[in-house]
Structures are given as C-alpha cells and as structure tokens.
Amino acid sequence: MTQLERIGVSLEKRLLTKFDKLIAKKGYQNRSEAIRDLIRQQLSQERLSDPKTETVAAIFMVYDHHATRLAEKLIGIQHSHILHAISSLHVHLNEHDCLEIVVLRGRAGEIIRVGENILSMKGVKFGRINIATAE
Ligand code: NI
C-alpha cells in the first residue's frame, strides 16, 4: 500500500478562499485531492516538455470530407510507421463535416509535430490535441 505523508502548507487567506471556491466548483470533496491533482498535473507537464517522453494522445478534429484528399492523408498518417495509432472514431456530423478522434501512442515530440501537421491541413475546421504521459 502507498505510504502517505502529511505536509503543512501556509497560504494567504485570500488565496485559500479563492482556491476553496475553485475546487468546490470543480467538485472536489477535499483540498488534499485537489492538491494531489495539481501536483500530478505539474509533474506530467514537466515530463511532456521532454520530446522523448512516451505519451498517449487523442487528436480531436472536425473536417470537411470534400476537402481534396484530406481523408486519404489522415488515413495515411495513421498507417505511418512513426506513430502507433491505437484507435480511431469517426462520426458523420452532416452532409459535409466529419468528427474524428484518433488515439495515438508515441513520443511527445513526434505526437505534437504530427498533431499540428494534421490540424493545419486544408479542410480541418477545428482541432485539438490532448496529450498525457503514458506511464
Ligand atoms: Ni464522415
């Protein structure tokens, strides 16, 4: 079982009040859980700044499937050797637009490069990369 250690933190009253409001809004039951999540986020962000860190990412995009060869290019990227596409989800939104979520595994640097490449393609109307450390 994981060993827990107690720590004391001194904060200005105003800062603590703001923090309590924020975490209540987010639905945290207590400060400890909120602080643990903040620490995990910071540690994860730090690891993501290293391009070699192993990550999993979801690339979320809305695109016009009529755009020249876009769908074909997107499939090509998913089959490429650089990245490991774990899964993808495709939803036909309307006559023109498709929503696609591609889940990838790979090094942070490559994922971000390929993700930005995809999102800048002609025909992609909206996109976002969500990336997390794989460990
Ligand atoms: Ni579609």
Percent of the chain topping pLDDT 70: 96
Return d(Cα 21, Cα 15) in angstroms, integer: 10
- Say what the pLDDT of residue 82 is: 63
Return d(Cα 102, Cα 5) in angstroms, integer: 39
- Tell me the average pLDDT of the chain: 90
From ligand 1's centre to the CA of 91, what distance in Å? 6
Is the pLDDT reported for residue 111 higher than 80? yes
From ligand 1's centre to the CA of 54, what distance in Å? 30
From ligand 1's centre to the CA of 104, what distance in Å? 20
Nearest to 54 by CA among 6, 7, 105: 105
DSSP lists the bridge partners of residue 87 as 103
Domain 54-133 falls under CATH 3.30.70.1150: yes
Decide if 105 contacts 84 (C-beta within 8 A). Answer: yes
Decide if 34 contacts 26 (C-beta within 8 A). Answer: yes
From ligand 1's centre to the CA of 105, what distance in Å? 23
Tens of pLDDT along 45-96?
999 999 999 999 999 999 998 887 888 888 887 777 666 788 889 999 999 9
From ligand 1's centre to the CA of 65, what distance in Å? 6
Single-letter amino acid, residue 44? S
From ligand 1's centre to the CA of 70, what distance in Å? 12
**Domain residue spans in the chain?**
13-48, 54-133
